[in-house]
Amino acid sequence: MGQLSQVTRAPLRSGFVLLGPAFVAAIAYVDPGNVAANVSAGAQFGFLLVWVIVLANVMAGLVQFLSAKLGLVTGRSLPEAVADHTRRSTRIAYWLQAELVAMATDLAEVVGGAIALYLLFDLPLLVGGIITGAVSLVLLLVQDRRGQKVFERVITGLLLVIAIGFLTSLVVAPPSVDDVAAGLIPRFDGAESVLLATAMLGATVMPHAVYLHSGLARDRHGHPAAGAPRRRLLQVTKWDVALAMLVAGAVNLAMLLVAATTLQGRDDTDSIEGAHAAVQDTLGPTIALLFAIGLLASGLASTSVGAYAGAMIMDGLLKISVPILVRRLVTLIPALVILGVGFDPSRALVLSQVVLSFGIPFALIPLVRLTSDRRLMGDDVNHRVTTALGWAVAALISVLNVVLIYLTVTG
């Protein structure tokens, strides 16, 4: 209750001090999977899929606010709320799919960190993966020992490094305004563009970030009673989400625009390593160095946030608390196996994002349903328009996944 009293005094006069949880969740939206999907989309299809990034970022903002609102209003994380309303057998099945999503998340983030260390220091990918996992464990220990506020500051600092790493190249090679505007018109160009669009959605509307944000908001701000303090917190949370998603969206858009401007038509740009080499050839070694540093910060920050989310999911659904080290090792193993057997790491990144996209409905459907329940949310229940938009997001992503399966099987 100390957190709650803090929220209802001086912080109410300055919403700035209440910002933070959304920036931790936003790390999930600029992870290495985003780099692979966005760079691949820009290099292969130019500005064709700009609209996907814009749409996905808007959808992500809505989803993250609903998640934070659920945590603040109910005092329960989304996994806990799902557990409250399901039978044990259903909870176990639900946890299994969520765990698969968590492993796919870790795969993208550890592989991305390993690629960055290879680009920067020429380290073998397996060694880079182990180092990425070890550093993420240190970041998790910071959260466990020093508290959420310190963890938020560290992660927000890494988010700024990521932004600088990728936005700098956009300043050096600005795209054509007309080309960017043309990319805002929704359209596809074959099954591969649908695959990449799905990967971009999976990399932007992240299931584990949806689960996590509810717990982050609750743990940071407590469970305020209905009334002015809660309304104030919800208003500040809107700004928290808007600012965090603005940064994440700008970074994602920069990745695609730089690839579309400088990498389209070049050979060997279907991998992060090839894209890095192409950036170095076209924009110079300094921009390529910043690209690699941004990728490394992305891998280190996002894998720690992903492991944090996985622990929250397991604790909420199964009421089982697993030591951080054990949790870290379990989700790290699939990524290290991929790196060890020599599977194309960039392709693994893109495919992991497709797996994430298939997990999105399992997070969105209960989120929209719970936040639309007046008995649970009281006066802070979703407006009808908000509920309609939430269901539209879940339906759009689900339909896109069905189309993807059809095109992949028949293509």
How many of the other CB atoms lie within 10 Å of CB of 78? 27
The two structure tokens encoding residue 399 = 């339909």
pLDDT band at 9 (very low <50, low <70, confident <90, very high): very low
pLDDT in tens, 36-91: 788 888 988 999 999 999 998 999 999 999 999 999 999 999 999 999 999 888 89
Contact 162, 298 (CB under 8 A): yes
Nearest to 355 by CA among 215, 187, 208: 208
Can you tell me the mean pLDDT for 174-191? Answer: 91
Nearest to 20 by CA among 216, 235, 229: 216
In whole angstroms, give the CA distance from residue 65 to residue 56.
14
pLDDT at 1: 40
Handedness of CA 271, 277, 280, 286 (dihedral sign): positive
Q: What is the mean pLDDT of the chain?
A: 86
| Residue 202, pLDDT above cutoff 70 | no
**342 Cβ contact list (under 8 Å, min separation 6):** none
pLDDT in tens, 345-395: 877 776 776 777 778 889 999 999 999 999 999 999 999 999 999 999 888
Domains and CATH numbers, the chain: 17-410 (1.20.1740.10)
In whole angstroms, give the CA distance from residue 264 to residue 173.
13
More confident residue, 116 or 34: 116
Q: Which amino acid is at 249?
A: G
In whole angstroms, give the CA distance from residue 391 to residue 156.
31
Q: Break the chain down into helix, strand, coil percent, rounded to 5.
A: 85, 0, 15
